[in-house]
Amino acid sequence: MELFRREDKMSSLITRNYNLLPVINRFGIRLGFKEKTIAEVCQEKNIDTDFFLAIVNTYTDESYFPEAEFLSFSPVLLIDYLKNTHRYYINYVLPKIEQLLNKVMESCPDNCSSLKMINTFYQKYKSELLLHLKLEDEKVFPYILNLYENKTLSPEGSFIEVIENEHTNVEVKLSDLENLIIRHLSPNYEDNAMNEFLTALLQFENDLNDHARIEDHILITKVIEFEKELKK
Protein backbone atom coordinates (compact mmCIF):
# COMPACT_ATOMS: atom_id res chain seq x y z
CA MET A 1 0.00 0.00 0.00
CA GLU A 2 1.22 3.49 -0.83
CA LEU A 3 2.49 5.47 2.15
CA PHE A 4 0.56 8.49 3.43
CA ARG A 5 2.15 11.90 2.80
CA ARG A 6 1.64 15.24 4.54
CA GLU A 7 -0.32 16.67 1.58
CA ASP A 8 -2.84 13.79 1.52
CA LYS A 9 -6.34 14.49 2.78
CA MET A 10 -6.87 13.43 6.38
CA SER A 11 -10.13 11.79 5.29
CA SER A 12 -8.22 9.50 2.90
CA LEU A 13 -6.43 8.02 5.88
CA ILE A 14 -9.66 6.51 7.16
CA THR A 15 -11.15 5.60 3.79
CA ARG A 16 -7.93 3.75 2.89
CA ASN A 17 -7.34 2.11 6.28
CA TYR A 18 -10.15 2.24 8.84
CA ASN A 19 -7.93 0.43 11.36
CA LEU A 20 -6.32 3.84 11.84
CA LEU A 21 -9.43 5.22 13.57
CA PRO A 22 -8.25 4.44 17.12
CA VAL A 23 -4.68 5.38 16.16
CA ILE A 24 -5.63 8.95 15.19
CA ASN A 25 -7.75 9.24 18.35
CA ARG A 26 -4.58 8.60 20.37
CA PHE A 27 -3.29 11.88 18.95
CA GLY A 28 -6.49 13.66 19.93
CA ILE A 29 -7.72 13.73 16.30
CA ARG A 30 -11.43 13.14 15.74
CA LEU A 31 -13.63 12.87 12.65
CA GLY A 32 -14.95 15.86 10.71
CA PHE A 33 -11.82 16.74 8.71
CA LYS A 34 -13.58 18.46 5.79
CA GLU A 35 -11.00 18.93 3.00
CA LYS A 36 -8.03 19.42 5.32
CA THR A 37 -4.71 17.73 4.63
CA ILE A 38 -2.81 15.63 7.15
CA ALA A 39 -0.31 18.46 7.68
CA GLU A 40 -3.10 21.02 8.25
CA VAL A 41 -4.87 18.91 10.87
CA CYS A 42 -1.59 18.13 12.62
CA GLN A 43 -0.63 21.79 12.70
CA GLU A 44 -4.02 22.76 14.15
CA LYS A 45 -3.68 20.15 16.88
CA ASN A 46 -0.04 20.93 17.56
CA ILE A 47 1.08 17.47 16.51
CA ASP A 48 4.48 16.73 14.95
CA THR A 49 3.41 15.79 11.40
CA ASP A 50 6.48 13.64 10.71
CA PHE A 51 5.91 11.64 13.88
CA PHE A 52 2.22 11.24 13.06
CA LEU A 53 3.08 10.01 9.54
CA ALA A 54 5.71 7.59 10.84
CA ILE A 55 3.12 6.05 13.18
CA VAL A 56 0.20 5.80 10.73
CA ASN A 57 2.44 4.41 7.98
CA THR A 58 3.92 1.83 10.34
CA TYR A 59 0.38 0.70 11.17
CA THR A 60 -0.64 0.63 7.54
CA ASP A 61 2.30 -1.09 5.88
CA GLU A 62 3.82 -4.06 7.68
CA SER A 63 7.09 -3.76 5.79
CA TYR A 64 7.45 -0.06 6.64
CA PHE A 65 9.38 0.78 9.78
CA PRO A 66 11.47 3.97 9.55
CA GLU A 67 13.83 3.09 12.37
CA ALA A 68 16.28 5.99 11.87
CA GLU A 69 13.45 8.50 11.68
CA PHE A 70 11.75 7.11 14.80
CA LEU A 71 15.05 7.32 16.64
CA SER A 72 15.27 11.02 15.79
CA PHE A 73 12.03 11.87 17.63
CA SER A 74 12.04 12.95 21.24
CA PRO A 75 11.30 10.12 23.71
CA VAL A 76 8.69 12.44 25.22
CA LEU A 77 6.67 12.17 21.98
CA LEU A 78 7.10 8.43 21.80
CA ILE A 79 6.21 7.81 25.43
CA ASP A 80 3.20 10.07 25.25
CA TYR A 81 1.90 8.08 22.30
CA LEU A 82 2.67 4.70 23.93
CA LYS A 83 0.94 5.73 27.16
CA ASN A 84 -2.18 6.79 25.26
CA THR A 85 -2.13 3.41 23.55
CA HIS A 86 -1.96 1.66 26.95
CA ARG A 87 -4.99 3.62 28.12
CA TYR A 88 -6.85 2.55 24.98
CA TYR A 89 -6.00 -1.12 25.67
CA ILE A 90 -6.90 -0.97 29.35
CA ASN A 91 -10.05 1.14 29.16
CA TYR A 92 -11.49 -0.06 25.88
CA VAL A 93 -9.95 -3.07 24.11
CA LEU A 94 -9.61 -5.49 27.02
CA PRO A 95 -13.10 -4.83 28.47
CA LYS A 96 -14.55 -5.11 24.94
CA ILE A 97 -12.82 -8.44 24.27
CA GLU A 98 -14.03 -9.72 27.63
CA GLN A 99 -17.60 -8.69 26.84
CA LEU A 100 -17.40 -10.57 23.53
CA LEU A 101 -15.95 -13.63 25.25
CA ASN A 102 -18.80 -13.56 27.78
CA LYS A 103 -21.27 -13.54 24.90
CA VAL A 104 -19.59 -16.65 23.45
CA MET A 105 -19.74 -18.35 26.87
CA GLU A 106 -23.42 -17.48 27.26
CA SER A 107 -24.15 -18.94 23.83
CA CYS A 108 -22.79 -22.36 24.80
CA PRO A 109 -25.74 -24.74 25.39
CA ASP A 110 -23.93 -27.55 27.25
CA ASN A 111 -20.54 -29.28 27.59
CA CYS A 112 -18.83 -25.95 27.91
CA SER A 113 -15.67 -27.19 29.61
CA SER A 114 -13.33 -26.38 26.72
CA LEU A 115 -14.80 -22.88 26.45
CA LYS A 116 -14.26 -22.47 30.18
CA MET A 117 -10.64 -23.44 29.61
CA ILE A 118 -10.37 -20.72 26.93
CA ASN A 119 -11.80 -18.26 29.43
CA THR A 120 -9.26 -19.26 32.10
CA PHE A 121 -6.46 -18.97 29.54
CA TYR A 122 -7.67 -15.53 28.49
CA GLN A 123 -7.93 -14.31 32.11
CA LYS A 124 -4.35 -15.40 32.74
CA TYR A 125 -3.18 -13.69 29.58
CA LYS A 126 -5.02 -10.51 30.53
CA SER A 127 -3.50 -10.30 34.02
CA GLU A 128 0.00 -10.81 32.61
CA LEU A 129 -0.54 -8.13 30.02
CA LEU A 130 -1.92 -5.69 32.60
CA LEU A 131 1.13 -6.25 34.79
CA HIS A 132 3.35 -5.61 31.79
CA LEU A 133 1.59 -2.33 30.95
CA LYS A 134 1.79 -1.27 34.60
CA LEU A 135 5.54 -1.96 34.71
CA GLU A 136 6.05 0.19 31.61
CA ASP A 137 3.82 3.01 32.86
CA GLU A 138 5.17 3.10 36.39
CA LYS A 139 8.82 2.13 35.99
CA VAL A 140 10.13 2.00 32.43
CA PHE A 141 8.69 5.22 30.99
CA PRO A 142 9.58 7.37 34.04
CA TYR A 143 13.08 5.85 33.97
CA ILE A 144 13.56 6.84 30.32
CA LEU A 145 12.12 10.33 30.82
CA ASN A 146 14.44 10.83 33.75
CA LEU A 147 17.40 9.69 31.66
CA TYR A 148 16.41 12.11 28.94
CA GLU A 149 15.48 15.11 31.06
CA ASN A 150 17.86 14.90 34.02
CA LYS A 151 20.64 12.87 32.46
CA THR A 152 20.87 10.62 35.49
CA LEU A 153 20.89 6.85 35.83
CA SER A 154 18.59 5.34 38.43
CA PRO A 155 19.84 2.58 40.75
CA GLU A 156 16.70 0.56 39.99
CA GLY A 157 17.86 -0.05 36.42
CA SER A 158 16.05 0.21 33.11
CA PHE A 159 14.09 -3.10 33.06
CA ILE A 160 15.04 -3.44 29.41
CA GLU A 161 15.59 -7.19 29.48
CA VAL A 162 12.43 -7.73 31.51
CA ILE A 163 10.42 -5.78 28.96
CA GLU A 164 11.84 -7.58 25.94
CA ASN A 165 11.15 -10.97 27.53
CA GLU A 166 7.66 -9.99 28.49
CA HIS A 167 6.89 -8.92 24.91
CA THR A 168 7.89 -12.34 23.65
CA ASN A 169 5.81 -13.98 26.39
CA VAL A 170 2.61 -12.03 25.79
CA GLU A 171 2.93 -12.48 22.03
CA VAL A 172 3.34 -16.25 22.36
CA LYS A 173 0.43 -16.51 24.83
CA LEU A 174 -1.92 -14.60 22.56
CA SER A 175 -1.08 -16.66 19.51
CA ASP A 176 -1.41 -19.87 21.61
CA LEU A 177 -4.89 -18.73 22.59
CA GLU A 178 -5.84 -18.04 18.96
CA ASN A 179 -4.46 -21.40 17.90
CA LEU A 180 -6.40 -23.20 20.59
CA ILE A 181 -9.61 -21.60 19.40
CA ILE A 182 -9.00 -22.02 15.67
CA ARG A 183 -7.58 -25.55 15.71
CA HIS A 184 -8.80 -27.38 18.78
CA LEU A 185 -11.94 -25.93 20.31
CA SER A 186 -15.11 -27.95 19.69
CA PRO A 187 -17.62 -25.59 18.06
CA ASN A 188 -20.11 -25.54 20.90
CA TYR A 189 -21.15 -21.90 20.69
CA GLU A 190 -23.00 -19.43 18.51
CA ASP A 191 -20.90 -18.74 15.41
CA ASN A 192 -21.41 -14.97 15.15
CA ALA A 193 -20.51 -14.49 18.79
CA MET A 194 -17.29 -16.47 18.31
CA ASN A 195 -16.42 -14.65 15.08
CA GLU A 196 -16.76 -11.29 16.77
CA PHE A 197 -14.59 -12.39 19.68
CA LEU A 198 -11.90 -13.92 17.49
CA THR A 199 -11.83 -10.94 15.11
CA ALA A 200 -11.36 -8.58 18.05
CA LEU A 201 -8.55 -10.77 19.35
CA LEU A 202 -6.76 -10.85 15.99
CA GLN A 203 -7.10 -7.09 15.56
CA PHE A 204 -5.72 -6.57 19.03
CA GLU A 205 -2.78 -8.83 18.19
CA ASN A 206 -1.87 -6.62 15.20
CA ASP A 207 -2.11 -3.45 17.25
CA LEU A 208 -0.07 -4.95 20.07
CA ASN A 209 2.66 -6.22 17.74
CA ASP A 210 3.13 -2.77 16.25
CA HIS A 211 3.20 -1.30 19.73
CA ALA A 212 5.85 -3.76 20.92
CA ARG A 213 7.86 -3.18 17.74
CA ILE A 214 8.14 0.53 18.59
CA GLU A 215 9.10 -0.29 22.17
CA ASP A 216 11.66 -2.96 21.27
CA HIS A 217 13.31 -1.25 18.32
CA ILE A 218 13.05 2.42 19.20
CA LEU A 219 12.61 2.94 22.91
CA ILE A 220 15.07 0.27 23.95
CA THR A 221 17.66 1.41 21.41
CA LYS A 222 17.31 4.94 22.77
CA VAL A 223 17.78 3.76 26.35
CA ILE A 224 20.94 1.85 25.42
CA GLU A 225 22.29 4.99 23.69
CA PHE A 226 21.48 7.24 26.67
CA GLU A 227 22.98 4.83 29.17
CA LYS A 228 26.16 4.46 27.14
CA GLU A 229 26.49 8.23 26.92
CA LEU A 230 26.02 8.68 30.68
CA LYS A 231 28.37 5.88 31.63
CA LYS A 232 31.24 7.41 29.60
Q: Name the site residues for Fe ion (rule: CB under 5 A).
A: 136, 215
User: Whose Cβ is closer to Fe ion: residue 164's or residue 190's?
Assistant: 164
Task: Measure the CA–CA gap between 112 and 132, rounded to whole angstroms.
Answer: 30
Q: State the minimum distance, in angstroms, from the CB of residue 46 to Fe ion.
A: 24
User: Whose Cβ is closer to Fe ion: residue 136's or residue 210's?
Assistant: 136
Q: State the minimum distance, in angstroms, from the CB of residue 112 to Fe ion.
A: 33
List of residues 6+ apart from 12 with CB closer than 8 A: 4
Cβ(118)–Cβ(177) below 8 Å: yes
Q: State the minimum distance, in angstroms, from the CB of residue 194 to Fe ion.
A: 28
User: Whose Cβ is closer to Fe ion: residue 136's or residue 196's?
Assistant: 136
Q: State the minimum distance, in angstroms, from the CB of residue 124 to Fe ion.
A: 18
The angle, 0 to 180 degrees and rounded to 10, between the axes of the packed helices 160-179 and 113-135 is 160
For 9, phi then psi, to 5°, come to: -70, 140
Q: State the minimum distance, in angstroms, from the CB of residue 163 to Fe ion.
A: 6
For 37, phi then psi, to 5°, come to: -85, 170
Helices (H), the chain: 10-16, 21-25, 38-44, 49-60, 67-72, 75-88, 94-106, 113-135, 141-150, 160-179, 191-214, 220-231
User: Whose Cβ is closer to Fe ion: residue 121's or residue 159's?
Assistant: 159
User: Whose Cβ is closer to Fe ion: residue 207's or residue 215's?
Assistant: 215
